[in-house]
Each structure stands twice: as C-alpha cells, then as structure tokens.
Amino acid sequence: MRLSHIKELNPFLRSFLYIISGDIAIYVGMELLNSESVDITDEDITENIKESIKGSDIDFEPNDSEILKLNTVRKTLYKLYSEKLAQFRRIRDKSTGWFIYYWWHEFDLFEEILLEKKNLIESKLRDRLQFEQNNYFFYCKNCQESNIKYNFDKAFELNFRCPDCGNPLEAQDNQSIIEYLKNKIGVIQNIKISID
C-alpha cells in the first residue's frame, strides 16, 4: 500500500544511491524510506516498484518481457547493505522452509559513511604525498656529472645550495605532482559534510 505522504530522499543520498547502482537504487531507497514503520520484504519492494512504474516507459529489464525482477532488487539491496546503508533480518518460513528477508534502511549513517570515505581518500593522498616527498631529490645542474642527489632534509640542511660549487640546488620534476597532491588534500579537508 502506498503512503499518501511520500518521503523524499535527501539529494546527496539520492546521488550516492545512483552511484552505487543506478536508478534502481533510488527506487529501492525510496521504498525503504517509505516503509520505515512496516516490515518489508525484498518481494514487497519489487512489487511496490513494479506498481509505481506501471504505465511508464521505465523498464529495469530491457532484455526480456519483465520490467523488474526480484533478483535485481535483491542485488541492489545487497549493494546498499555492503555500503552500510541497509540492513536485513531473515526468518525461515515454516511452511516453505525458505528464508524471508526483511529489510530496512540505515540512512541515518549516511553522513558518517561519507566522512569515512573522505578520511580514506585523504589518507591515501597523504600516503602518496609522503612517498613523493621521500623520493623527491635535489641536484646541482652545474655538477650534474657527479650525479649527486640530495633528499629534501639534506637539501634543506644545505640551504638548497650545492656544497661543491655553491649554486642553487634544483628540484627534480615531481614537484608538480607534490603540488597537485597538496592541493587535493587541501580541497578535501575543506569539504564540509553535513546532511540535513
């Protein structure tokens, strides 16, 4: 049964669902959101979505005559589950012996999930930056034949001057990568995650 007042997904959450699994994830998300107060199975969700798209040209199964398969909804629910946005409990049906899966959303965790992803990206960028900085050398153009390289700490200690001829030390060309990474880290740090 459809509720007269339909709750809408937060736009960020909507986009995130779309990224996870396309339009079907948005439909599934809407069903979960609008069935907070009732027990809903993957079969109910499938039937509700089929009902809601009846008469439209939406077809989630373009390769056959069905418009939406239970299996497609199940796969989508498991994707939501693996992104920590949905949960289920299963109960064995005594008459058939099959499991019945009841699903609910955990959209309240969305902000936390985004924050986790943000921190993960930031730490990956920091690791990469550290790698570039540790493998970042200075050399003297004038004494190039000697092939002597200095890491950042050593070059810093030398005040970025060649100890042999006094010319300025030059940085190897991963400087642009380092700048790029520093920039990215700055951008990510400034992203404010707040879902309301």
Tell me which of 112, 116, 164, 179 binds Zn ion, using CB under 5 A: 164
Q: Is 38 in the site for Zn ion (CB under 5 A)?
A: no
Nearer to Zn ion (CB atom), residue 134 or residue 172: 172
Q: Is 91 in the site for Zn ion (CB under 5 A)?
A: no
Interface of this chain with Zn ion, residues 126 to 155, rule: CB under 5 A: 140, 142-143
55 vs 41: CA distance, rounded Å? 24
Nearer to Zn ion (CB atom), residue 112 or residue 164: 164
Name every residue whose Cβ is closer than 8 Å to that of residue 3 and which is 6 or more positions away in sequence: 34
Name every residue whose Cβ is closer than 8 Å to that of residue 149 and which is 6 or more positions away in sequence: 137, 138, 139, 172
Tell me which of 19, 165, 187, 193 binds Zn ion, using CB under 5 A: 165
Q: Is 179 in the site for Zn ion (CB under 5 A)?
A: no
Q: Minimum distance from CB of 133 to Zn ion (Å)?
A: 23
**Quick count: other Cβ atoms within 10 Å of Cβ 97?**
7
**Quick count: other Cβ atoms within 10 Å of Cβ 34?**
19
Q: Is 163 in the site for Zn ion (CB under 5 A)?
A: no
Of 67, 84, 69, give the one whose Cα is nearest residue 16: 84
Stretch that binds Zn ion, among 47-55, 158-166, 175-183, 188-196 (CB under 5 A): 158-166
Q: Minimum distance from CB of 161 to Zn ion (Å)?
A: 8
Q: Is 162 in the site for Zn ion (CB under 5 A)?
A: yes
**Residues 49-56: contacts with CB under 8 Å, at least 24 apart:** 49/24, 49/73, 51/2, 52/2, 52/27, 53/27
**Could you list the residues that contact Zn ion (CB under 5 A)?**
140, 142-143, 162, 164-165, 167
